[in-house]
Chain A
C-alpha cells in the first residue's frame, strides 16, 4: 500500500510569510518611509561632511569673488551631475531624517537634497525616524552613509570616527577605545580600525597636514603617525606631500631608521653585557700543558704538581678537565 500523502504549504510561501512577519517584528515603529516636501527639510550643521556649498549658493550660484570659488564651483558641478540623474531616474535611496518641531533634520543625504532642489523637485522620499537618534546612533548612521563615499576627505572621515567614538564613550562610560572596539562598531577590518586610531592619535605635524588636505590617504597617515623620530617623520611628511607612494614612504622610513641607528651605535656596547671571561678554545693540548706547567712551577702552586702529573695530555677530554681544574684552583686561591 502506498504511503499516505502529506500536505503542507509550499516552501516559497512559508518563507514569504515568515520573512514578512520578521520584517514587522524587527522594524515596526522604528522608522517609516514617506515623501516629504523639500521645503520642510533642513540640513544638519553637525554632519561631519562640511558641505562646501550652501543652500543659497545652490539656488543662486557661487559668487565669483568668493575665495573658495574654484572648489565651490567644482562641488556645484558635481551636484549638477547628480541633479541630472535625479531628473531622469529620481532619488534611488531615500534620505534619512528625523522629525524636529517644525521641520525634518537630515541625518544622511544632504547632497541628494541639494541636487533634488537643483533638479527642480518639490519632494523627496525619506526614511523618517520617529525620534531623534541618540548621539551615538546618529554618528553611526552618518558614518555608514559617508563610508561609501569617495569624495569625503580624510579629515572629514577622521572627524566622523572621532565624534562617533566620543558619543560611544558618552553612552558606555569608561570603555577603553581600541581597534577591536572600533571594528565591532563600524564593521571595518581590524587593520583599517588600527589605522584610523593611529591617524586620530597622530602627532601634531601629521594632524596639521591631514587638516590641510595634504595627507589624504589613511594608510599613509597611519604610517607617518607611527614614526617616533620627529626628524624622520618630518622628512617622510615632505615625501608624502610630494607624492611618494606608500611603499616608497615605508622604504624611506625604514632606511632612515637604519641609518640613524648605525650612526649612533658604539661597537663596544653591542651585544649582551659581558659577565665573565671566555677562556677560548684550542685543539693543541700542549698549549694547556704549558699554561699548567707554568702555573705549578710557581712556588705558591707547586703543591698541585702531582695532581697534573697523571694527566694524559694527548686526551683532549683529560686536558680540558685539567684546565678547568686549574681555573677552579686559581679562582679559589686568588680571589679568596
Chain B
C-alpha cells in the first residue's frame, strides 16, 4: 500500500484538484482500491464526494454526513453518532470510510472543528497526540488489507496536521503555481521533507516525487519561473516533466450537477483528459513501478 500526499503550505495551488485527479485515476483507470483522506479543516476534498453538513456547534465548520451504514435502531450503533471523519484518529475513535460514486474509491472526510483542535494542541503534546496518529492508523493491518493506495489532501500549513501526513506518507508531490509565493511554499515543504528524511530509517524513505507545475499558463511569468527551477542542477531533478495547465474544466467538474463528474469520463480526445492521464500516469509509474 502506497501513501501519496499532495503538500504545499501555500493555499490555492491546486492540492485538492491534484488529489482528486490522482484518486480518480488510480481507482477508475488503474482499478486500484483507493482511499481518499481529507486532512484539511476546510474540507474541500470531502465536499467533492460527500454532502458535507454545517456543524451546528461551529457554524463555520463542516462535518461529515451520516454514514450510509449507520442505523440508529441498530444496538451496535448505539454509541456512535453516525458520522466518521479522519479526525477520529486523534480521539481514539474508529475511522469508517464512506463509499463514493466512483467504484473502488472511498473517502475518509475531514471534520473542521476536530481537525482544528488537533492542530492547536500544546507543543509538548503534539508529538504523541498528533504527529504519529495518522501513521499509526494507516499502518493498521485492516487498512493495509482494504486498500492499495491512499491519497491525502493536506491543509495549507506547515503545522502538526501536515507534519503527521509527512510522517505517514510514502511519497509526496508538491503542486505549485509557477509564481514566487507558491514557490516559497515549496521551500516550506522541502524543509519538512528534509526533517522527516533525516529521522527515517533507510528501509522506508520518504520519496519526494517532485514539484508538479499546476495551473500553468503560457505567460512569460510562468515560463520563466519554471525554467529557473529546471535550470538549477539540484532543483531541476525534482521538477516533474509533466504539468497541469490552467483549464476551467478542472473547476467545472467540481460542480455537483456537472456531467460527467470526472475528467476521466470525458471523451478520449478531450485535451484535459489527455493531460490528466499523462500527469497521473507519470506519477503512478514513479510510485507503483
User: Which chain A residues have a beta carbon within 8 Å of chain B's beta carbons?
Assistant: 4-10, 13-14, 16-24, 27-34, 130
Nearest-neighbour CB distance to chain B for A25, whole angstroms, equals 8
Residues A29 and B191 in contact, CB atoms below 8 Å apart: no
Chain A neighbourhood of B187, CB < 8 A: 13, 16-17, 20
CA A7 to CA B197, docked complex, whole Å: 32
Nearest-neighbour CB distance to chain B for A301, whole angstroms, equals 94
Residues B232 and A18 in contact, CB atoms below 8 Å apart: yes
Known: A4-B220, A17-B187, A21-B190. A9 touches B199 (CB 8 A): no
Residues B198 and A8 in contact, CB atoms below 8 Å apart: no
Chain A neighbourhood of B205, CB < 8 A: 28-29
Which 5 pairs from chain A and chain B are nearest by CB? A29-B202, A18-B234, A7-B224, A8-B228, A28-B197
Q: Look across to chain B and name the residue whose beta carbon is closest to the beta carbon of A18.
A: B234
CA A32 to CA B224, docked complex, whole Å: 37
Q: B residues 172-225 with Cβ under 8 Å of A?
A: 180, 183-184, 186-187, 190-191, 193-194, 197-202, 205, 208, 220-221, 224-225
Q: Look across to chain A and name the residue whose beta carbon is closest to the beta carbon of B208.
A: A24
Chain B neighbourhood of A19, CB < 8 A: 234
CA A8 to CA B202, docked complex, whole Å: 35
Chain B neighbourhood of A4, CB < 8 A: 220
CA A190 to CA B144, docked complex, whole Å: 58
Q: Look across to chain B and name the residue whose beta carbon is closest to the beta carbon of A131.
A: B202
Nearest-neighbour CB distance to chain A for B162, whole angstroms, equals 16
Chain B neighbourhood of A18, CB < 8 A: 232-235
Residues B183 and A21 in contact, CB atoms below 8 Å apart: no
Starting from the known contacts A13-B187, A17-B187, A21-B235, 4 additional A-B residue pairs (CB-CB under 8 Å) come to A4-B220, A8-B228, A9-B229, A24-B190
Chain A neighbourhood of B199, CB < 8 A: 32-34
Residues B234 and A17 in contact, CB atoms below 8 Å apart: yes
Interface flag for B147 (CB, 8 Å): no
CA A17 to CA B232, docked complex, whole Å: 10
CA A31 to CA B197, docked complex, whole Å: 10
**Would you mind naming 16 contact pairs between A and B with Cβ atoms under 8 Å apart?**
A5-B220, A7-B220, A7-B221, A7-B224, A7-B225, A8-B228, A13-B180, A13-B183, A14-B235, A17-B232, A18-B235, A20-B193, A20-B194, A21-B234, A28-B198, A28-B202
- Chain B window 77-107, contacts with chain A (Cβ cutoff 8 Å), 1 for yes, 0 for no: 0000000000000000000000000000000
Interface flag for B264 (CB, 8 Å): no
Interface flag for B238 (CB, 8 Å): yes
Residues A14 and B198 in contact, CB atoms below 8 Å apart: no
Residues A9 and B234 in contact, CB atoms below 8 Å apart: no
Known: A13-B184, A17-B187, A18-B232. A24 touches B224 (CB 8 A): no
Q: Look across to chain A and name the residue whose beta carbon is closest to the beta carbon of B231.
A: A8
Nearest-neighbour CB distance to chain B for A86, whole angstroms, equals 20
Chain B neighbourhood of A9, CB < 8 A: 180, 183, 225, 228-229
Known: A7-B225, A9-B225, A13-B183. A20 touches B190 (CB 8 A): yes
Chain B neighbourhood of A16, CB < 8 A: 187
CA A19 to CA B200, docked complex, whole Å: 19
CA A27 to CA B199, docked complex, whole Å: 10
Residues A27 and B190 in contact, CB atoms below 8 Å apart: no
> Among the listed A5, A6, A17, A24, which residue makes an inter-chain contact with B197, where contact means beta carbons less than 8 Å apart?
A24
Nearest-neighbour CB distance to chain A for B268, whole angstroms, equals 36
Residues A29 and B201 in contact, CB atoms below 8 Å apart: yes
Residues A32 and B238 in contact, CB atoms below 8 Å apart: no
Nearest-neighbour CB distance to chain B for A151, whole angstroms, equals 31
CA A7 to CA B226, docked complex, whole Å: 10
Nearest-neighbour CB distance to chain A for B286, whole angstroms, equals 17
> Among the listed B180, B191, B221, B238, which residue makes an inter-chain contact with A10, where contact means beta carbons less than 8 Å apart?
B180
Nearest-neighbour CB distance to chain B for A11, whole angstroms, equals 10
CA A19 to CA B187, docked complex, whole Å: 10
Chain A neighbourhood of B232, CB < 8 A: 14, 17-18
Nearest-neighbour CB distance to chain A for B199, whole angstroms, equals 5
Chain B neighbourhood of A14, CB < 8 A: 228, 232, 235
Residues B190 and A32 in contact, CB atoms below 8 Å apart: no
Q: Look across to chain A and name the residue whose beta carbon is closest to the beta carbon of B127.
A: A35
Chain B neighbourhood of A32, CB < 8 A: 198-201
Q: Look across to chain A and name the residue whose beta carbon is closest to the beta carbon of B221.
A: A7
Chain A neighbourhood of B201, CB < 8 A: 29, 32, 130
Known: A8-B228, A23-B194. A17 touches B200 (CB 8 A): no
Chain B neighbourhood of A33, CB < 8 A: 198-199
CA A5 to CA B202, docked complex, whole Å: 45
Residues B194 and A24 in contact, CB atoms below 8 Å apart: yes
CA A30 to CA B200, docked complex, whole Å: 9
Chain B neighbourhood of A34, CB < 8 A: 199
Nearest-neighbour CB distance to chain A for B180, whole angstroms, equals 6
Chain A neighbourhood of B229, CB < 8 A: 9, 17
CA A22 to CA B237, docked complex, whole Å: 11
Residues A27 and B198 in contact, CB atoms below 8 Å apart: yes
Q: Which of A7, A8, A10 has the most C-beta atoms of chain B within 10 angstroms of its own C-beta?
A: A7
Nearest-neighbour CB distance to chain A for B68, whole angstroms, equals 43
CA A180 to CA B171, docked complex, whole Å: 45
Q: Look across to chain B and name the residue whose beta carbon is closest to the beta carbon of A5.
A: B220
Q: Which of A4, A14, A27 has the most C-beta atoms of chain B within 10 angstroms of its own C-beta?
A: A14
Chain B neighbourhood of A13, CB < 8 A: 180, 183-184, 187
Q: Look across to chain B and name the residue whose beta carbon is closest to the beta carbon of A22.
A: B234
